[in-house]
Chains A and B, each alone.
Chain A
Amino acid sequence: AQSVAQPEDQVNVAEGNPLTVKCTYSVSGNPYLFWYVQYPNRGLQFLLKYITGDNLVKGSYGFEAEFNKSQTSFHLKKPSALVSDSALYFCAVRDMNSGYSTLTFGKGTMLLVSP
């Protein structure tokens, strides 16, 4: 079975400061990992994914994520937050060895960036 934990329901950060949204995962094999963002009353938008190789993955809108196999984590980061980054963020995982392309999502973390 695969699972994802996002330990923070909400993260608050001031504009211009670095931000981190945490994610840990559990799979029986090796993971594919994803981050999505959801703006109010919208569907989810893909930000970035980790497949293999470099542990630091760069994605859309200046976001990046660091894969840490020993800590089974995939934290989302941005060096300088913008007010427009305020949204709901979801981490998702897929076991590489699973037969179907289904993802397991975390419960989401609300990011609030204050001016």
Chain B
Amino acid sequence: DVKVTQSSRYLVKRTGEKVFLECVQDMDHENMFWYRQDPGLGLRLIYFSYDVKMKEKGDIPEGYSVSREKKERFSLILESASTNQTSMYLCASSWGPGQGAYEQYFGPGTRLTVT
């Protein structure tokens, strides 16, 4: 079974703090993704990576950065957390590359609250 793990299920941070969300997958997947999920807005892609040290902006990258130093690990960084970044954050991974119909496998999510 594919397993995608996220470092925390719940996290509470203060405005202005630097926040790290970690994601690890154990299936040697090329692609990894970070989404945020908000009620009524569905899932929105923040960043994705198709290879080690490679990253691409998704639909809502502002206020976020990412790091992928090893194939199995993809980190999401909030440089200076703000209250509008309170959300559920979901990590996913999938086989790549190219034009295959690869389903994504999701972690359990991190519910981040910024106060």
State how many angstroms separate the Cβ of B15 from the closest Cβ of chain A: 25
Interface residues of A (CB under 8 A from B): 9, 32, 34, 36, 41-46, 49, 51, 90, 94, 96-103, 105-108
Q: Residues of B within 8 Å of A, CB-based: how many? A: 32
Complex Cα gap A101–B56 (Å): 12
Residues of B within 8 A of A43 (CB): 4, 90, 92, 106-109
Residues of B within 8 A of A97 (CB): 99
What total count of A-B pairs have CB within 8 Å?
63
Majority secondary structure of chain A interface residues (helix, strand, loop or mixed): loop
Query: Residue A44 contacts which of B56, B102, B106 (CB distance < 8 angstroms)?
Result: B106
B41/A107 in contact, CB under 8 A:
yes
> Contacts A43-B106, A108-B42 hold; do A101 and B90 have CB atoms under 8 A apart?
no
Q: Which of B22-47 contact A (CB under 8 A)?
A: 31, 33, 35, 40-45
Query: Residue B42 contacts which of A34, A100, A107 (CB distance < 8 angstroms)?
Result: A107
